[in-house]
Amino acid sequence: MPCPTTSPITRPTRAPRRGITSNQSPHRQALDAVRVGTLSRTDRWLFDYAELDVIAMLSTHLDEARRFVRRELGGLAGSGEPATTLRTTLKCYLDTERSLNTTAELLHVARNTVAYRIQRAEQLRGREIKVRRMHLQVALALAEEFDDLVLSEQATPR
């Protein structure tokens, strides 16, 4: 379950292009969006390339993405509801610029619950969240989008 947002729903937009020499054609973008949509484990029904361009790039080689996610998340890469809840909380916390209050509001839990979950997530990961923070956020985004495809040691697309 992704971190809820407070922004209104927006129209799908195309990723910016730079003239005729663009390396990424609209057709290629559409194919990447279809690939991500086919593999995605989310409940989303609309896959807009402009919103998932980074996920599309990083999931081109799922085996490498899987190794990356498992290495960055450590014990957070586990299956089951407790690990999923910790990953969701941690991703929401990082997405809200590490605001305990905003995260608590968005997830409808107490501020102390968020603080406990962040602490537990750091314990399971084996290092503080400030260590390789960008890598952690990318791994959490991949885990949110692809779930068992990148969290399990050997997964096959559905």
pLDDT digit string (tens) for 70-123? 999 999 998 889 999 999 999 999 999 999 999 999 999 999 999 999 999 999
Q: Which residues contact 134 (CB under 8 A, 6 or more apart)?
A: none
Q: 67 or 54: whose pLDDT is higher?
A: 67
Q: Which of 19-28, 42-51, 63-72 has the lowest mean pLDDT?
A: 19-28
- Give me the pLDDT at residue 2, please: 67
- Give me the pLDDT at residue 157, please: 53
Alpha helices in the chain, H assignment, sequence order: 26-39, 49-58, 62-73, 81-95, 100-107, 111-125, 133-146, 148-151
Q: 1 or 60: whose pLDDT is higher?
A: 60
**CA pair distance 87, 31, nearest whole angstrom:** 29
- Give me the pLDDT at residue 6, please: 46
Q: 34 or 3: whose pLDDT is higher?
A: 34
| CA 14 to centroid of chain Cα atoms | 21
Tell me 133's DSSP state.
Answer: H
pTM for the whole structure: 0.76
- Average pLDDT value for the chain: 84
